[in-house]
Amino acid sequence: MQLDASWFTEIAPGEGIAMSLKGARRLHAERTPYQQIEIYETETFGRLMAIDGCVMLTDRDNFVYHEMLAHPALFTHPAPRDVLIIGGGDCGTLREVLKHADIGTLIQAEIDERVTRLAEQYFPELCQANHDPRARFYFGDGIQWVKEAATASLDVILIDSTDPAGPAAGLFAAAFYKECRRVLRPGGLIAQQSESPLLYAHIIKNMHAEFRQAGFAEVRTLTFPQATYPSGWWSATLAGEHGKLADFRRGDAEHKAFPTLYYDAAMHAAAFALPPFLRETLAR
């Protein structure tokens, strides 16, 4: 079968693999000072947001990514109150965080306000929680925000960024992680989207090294399927104090008072099981 011009395709040129969605009708395109944002309607995956040609999310499968970035970290921290999201402009992660009743404040530092404005327009269900009084929006550089933040003022930092190139590159480096460690309270932790374990294990390995260099004693990666990202398999990496990441509030996760579609206590535990090739890559 040949793909005609109506398919949206994200190509990973170096890796020689592409992912396509059928019947993509472009609803919007704009170039912001930071990037090219496009919105499509697709035939079988609902709406699609792409940035610089890369899939950010679709209606149909974004729940996996957003739940697995937010809930493992929040059910690992013993009592998360104050949370920072860096990136996350589509507000899908923010919505998951605010499902936790004990969250006191959630600040989202997104560099490109247009991502959020377009999400409000084209992905209203992801933006349902944007008017929650606990949520604050800062549109600007997340790295700078962290530099200026008070020491020991946050419990959890979630990094929901684009790939480690362009504006996101600095979010994968020890210098930034050091600042994150400073603003975290004792027992605080980070969860960061960490790319495809199949295609980009070297990026994950490098993140582990950078986190350790920044003084995080424990770094653990979890994986999950993501149909519309390159290779269909994705990961998040957590960094924290030693002995704090192997366990989580299993009882609270089992009895959580809100619905999820992918995350639950069993998926939490299972997601940290790594295949030998990845374990070995990360151990080397």
DSSP result, 1-41? ----TTSEEEEEGGGTEEEEESS-EEEEEEE-SS-EEEEEE
Helices 174-183 and 201-213 pack at an angle, to 10 degrees, of: 50
Residue closer to ligand AG3 (CB basis): 211 or 229? 229
The residue among 80 and 89 lying less far from ligand AG3, judged by its C-beta, is 89
Catalytic residues: 160
Contact 152, 186 (CB under 8 A): yes
Give the torsion sign (CA, 164, 58, 250, 265): negative
Q: Is residue 38 within the footprint of ligand AG3 (CB under 6 A)?
A: no
Report, in Å, the least distance between residue 266 CB and ligand AG3: 24
Question: Are 82 and 154 in contact, with CB atoms under 8 Å apart?
Answer: yes
Q: Which residue has the tokens 């969860």?
A: 191
CA distance 76 to 240: 10
Q: Which of 80, 164, 167, 230 binds ligand AG3 (CB under 6 A)?
A: 230
Answer yes or no: are the C-beta atoms of 87 and 161 closer than 8 Å: yes
CB 9 → ligand AG3: shortest distance, Å?
A: 12
The alpha carbon dihedral of 213, 214, 220, 221 has a sign of negative
Which among 216, 203, 195, 220 has a CA at the least distance from the CA of 76? Answer: 220
Cα separation, 68 vs 233, whole angstroms: 12
265 near ligand AG3, rule: CB under 6 A: no
Among 35, 42, 193, 235, binds ligand AG3 (CB under 6 A): 193
Which span (30-38, 116-124, 145-153, 156-164) binds ligand AG3, by CB under 6 A?
156-164
| Beta carbon of residue 108, minimum distance to ligand AG3 (angstroms, whole number) | 11
Choose between 76 and 162: whose C-beta lies nearer to ligand AG3.
162
Candidates 23-31, 49-57, 137-145, 182-190: pick the segment binding ligand AG3 (CB under 6 A).
49-57
Of 61 and 82, the one with the shorter C-beta distance to ligand AG3 is 61
**Residue 158 touches ligand AG3, criterion: CB under 6 A:** no
Residue 167 in contact with ligand AG3, rule: CB under 6 A? no
Residue numbers 54-113 binding ligand AG3 by CB under 6 A:
54-57, 65, 88, 90, 92-93
Binding site for ligand AG3 (CB under 6 A): 10, 54-57, 65, 88, 90, 92-93, 160, 162-163, 193, 229-230
